[in-house]
Amino acid sequence: MHYAKNPSSLEGSATLLYTARAASMKAAGADIISLTAGQPDFKTPRAAIQAAKDAMDQGKTLYTPSMGIAELRQAVAQRWSGVHEQEFSVENTMVSCGAKHSIANMLEVVVSPGDKVLLPKPYWVSYPQMVRRLGGISVYPDSGEMLITGDDIRKAHASGVKGMIFNSPCNPSGLVNTAEMIADVAAAVRETGIWVISDDIYEDLYYGHGRVPHILNADPGLRDQVALITGVSKTYAMTGWRIGFAIANPDWIRIAGRIQAHSTSNPCSISQYAALAVVKGEAEAEREKMYGAFKRRRDLICGLLEKVPGIEFKRPQGAFYVYPRIVTDKPINTEEFCIALLEKGGLGTIPGSAFGNEGYIRLSFAASDDDIAEAVKRLKSFLERGDFK
């Protein structure tokens, strides 16, 4: 049997793999604490559930327009016009089956085989595979810094890069480009003319003051070359509903819409009505409660990790991850480290190698206070025992 080259060269998702491994050991009775989760550990807000029930009762269970129901596209345009102080309309928006699907659709419009795409490191695990699927080539800044700079972009452009996927707050580091850093990035984007897919899925989980700094706020004139990706998954604990949004110039959206029309048709009708309720603001009390819990847990886990010898980390400013580096005299194989930590230390984590960094591990604080405290205890004693050396 002959399989096409690009899809058969794709790698599986390491985050899903390690999450599943920890879950199956736990299910088999092992004493495992898992900080692998890439999703909130809260219930979807009542307003979304009710809207979904109403949609079903009212027979809104057939195909919808492939780019999403008009009410939701309109609500997305309105909400993110406010966020970015720009006028977006329905033609600027598309609803897809999760932010991951939105990214895949938008990427497909701009990447031709052989095109180089810049991925700041660490990168979300799916970006390189999405680029590879389209026959594109991922390139990475060589500065080795955790947050990309304007000069990284200029250098990459000089070597032929056409576009970049940008993610701040970042999964896995939880780091955020400050307003000055964003202005520097925006200046380089303007100078080079590259396209940008700004993955803003964690924009509402920002622990600084006000809104998270954004390229479009630094330079509103970039709106035609920047596509925004956002959604309801992380902000409203709705990962399973599979609804994501793209906001971009109408051509980019229209072409992506054709791709979607010939692949999934429309995103799930019922989920769209559930998303509509939260985008319109019917679950803000729950959102604030979840946000408050994440912020408090961020402080909890950072406070505990600060007392663990043998690691160093920067305090996350967004999302729900901490990304410590394991400080050792000899380089370690991070996958082996995480497997040993799971099997001998009873703690599930994700190796930094999945995000382009050897020597780092990702800990999710989308977990209870007790699990966080126990997890840090286990990490500390695992490091003290030196079980990974």
Could you list the residues that contact ligand PLP (CB under 6 A)?
Answer: 38, 98-100, 124, 167, 171, 199, 201, 231, 233, 239, 244
In one-letter notation, the amino acid at residue 128 is P
Q: What is residue 12's DSSP assignment?
A: P
Report the residue number, 171 or 357, with the smaller CB distance to ligand PLP.
171
Q: Report, in Å, the least distance between residue 271 CB and ligand PLP.
A: 11
Q: Report, in Å, the least distance between residue 219 CB and ligand PLP.
A: 22
C-alpha–C-alpha distance, residues 223 and 238, integer Å: 28
Report the residue number, 171 or 353, with the smaller CB distance to ligand PLP.
171
Note whether 32 and 224 are within 8 A (CB): no
Report the residue number, 47 or 99, with the smaller CB distance to ligand PLP.
99
DSSP assignments along 294-331, one per residue: HHHHHHHHHHHHTT-TTEE-PPP-BTTEE-PEE--SS-
Report the residue number, 79 or 157, with the smaller CB distance to ligand PLP.
79
Q: Report, in Å, the least distance between residue 57 CB and ligand PLP.
A: 26
Q: Report, in Å, the least distance between residue 386 CB and ligand PLP.
A: 32
C-alpha–C-alpha distance, residues 386 and 294, integer Å: 31
Q: Report, in Å, the least distance between residue 103 CB and ligand PLP.
A: 6
Instruction: Find residue 4's DSSP bridge partners.
Output: none
Q: Report, in Å, the least distance between residue 232 CB and ligand PLP.
A: 7
Report the residue number, 206 or 382, with the smaller CB distance to ligand PLP.
206
Report the residue number, 199 or 286, with the smaller CB distance to ligand PLP.
199
Which position's Cβ is nearest ligand PLP? Answer: 98
Annotate 151-168 with b (16+ C-beta within 10 A) or e (fewer): ebbebbbeeebbbbbbbb
* Tokens describing residue 155: 């250098």
Of 229, 239, 212, 228, which Cα lies nearest the Cα of 364?
239
